[in-house]
Amino acid sequence: MKKLLSGITVVALSAGLLAGCGQGNSKPSESGAAPSQGSTDKKITLKLLQGKPEIADKTKQMLADYQSEHPNVTIEPEITPDVQTRLKTLFAAGEAPDIFFVKGYTDMGLWRDRLVDLTEESWMSQALPTTLPGMTFDGKKYGFPISIEGYGFVYNKDLFAKAGIDKVPTTLTELKQVNEKLKTAGIKSYSEAYKEWWTLGQHLLNLPFAYAPDPAGYAKQLNDGTAKIKDNPFMNGFFDVLDMTVQYGSGVESLGVSYDTEIANFATGKVAMIQQGVWALQPILKVNPDVNMGMFAIPLTDNASDTKIPISVPNYYAINKESKNVDEAKKFLDWVHKNGQKYLVDSFKFLPAFADMQATDQLGPLAADMNEYVKNDQIIPFAFFLWPAPGIQTQFVKPLQAYVGEQLNKEKAMDEIQKIWSGAVKK
| Contact (CB, 8 A) for 178 and 171 | no
Beta strands in 4-124 (DSSP E): 44-50, 73-79, 99-102
Q: Tell me: pLDDT of 6 over 50.
A: no
pLDDT recorded at residue 40: 54
Q: Tell me: pLDDT of 188 over 60.
A: yes
Residue 25 lies in a domain: no
Are 77 and 154 found together in one domain? no
CATH code of the domain containing 87: 3.40.190.10
Q: Which domain holds residue 358?
A: 44-148+313-363
CA distance 144 to 101: 9
| Contact (CB, 8 A) for 384 and 213 | no
Confidence grade of residue 352 (pLDDT, cut at 50, 70, 90): confident
- The string of pLDDT tens digits covering residues 308-327 is 999 888 899 999 999 999 99
Residue 105 lies in a domain: yes
Task: Evaluate the CA torsion angle 322, 328, 331, 333 in order and state its sign.
Answer: negative
pLDDT recorded at residue 427: 76
Are 298 and 329 found together in one domain? no
CA distance 99 to 208: 34
Cβ neighbours of residue 94 closer than 8 Å, sequence gap 6 or more: none
Confidence grade of residue 9 (pLDDT, cut at 50, 70, 90): very low
Are 78 and 110 found together in one domain? yes
Looking at this protein, which amino acid is placed at residue 85?
Answer: T
Query: Percent of the chain beyond pLDDT 90?
Result: 75
Cβ–Cβ contacts within 10 Å for residue 418, how many? 16
Confidence grade of residue 229 (pLDDT, cut at 50, 70, 90): very high
pLDDT recorded at residue 54: 83
Torsion of CA 248, 149, 75, 67, to 10 degrees: 120
Are 304 and 352 found together in one domain? no
Among candidate residues 169, 350, 184, 189, the one with its CA nearest the CA of residue 274: 189
Are 382 and 418 found together in one domain? yes
User: Domain tally for the chain?
Assistant: 2
pLDDT recorded at residue 111: 94
Mean pLDDT score of the chain: 89
Its pTM stands at: 0.74
Q: Tell me: pLDDT of 24 over 50.
A: no
Cβ neighbours of residue 77 closer than 8 Å, sequence gap 6 or more: 48, 49, 50, 59, 60, 63
Cα distances (Å, whole numbers) of residue 309 to 249, 334, 341, 396 = 22, 32, 25, 22
Cβ–Cβ contacts within 10 Å for residue 326, how many? 15
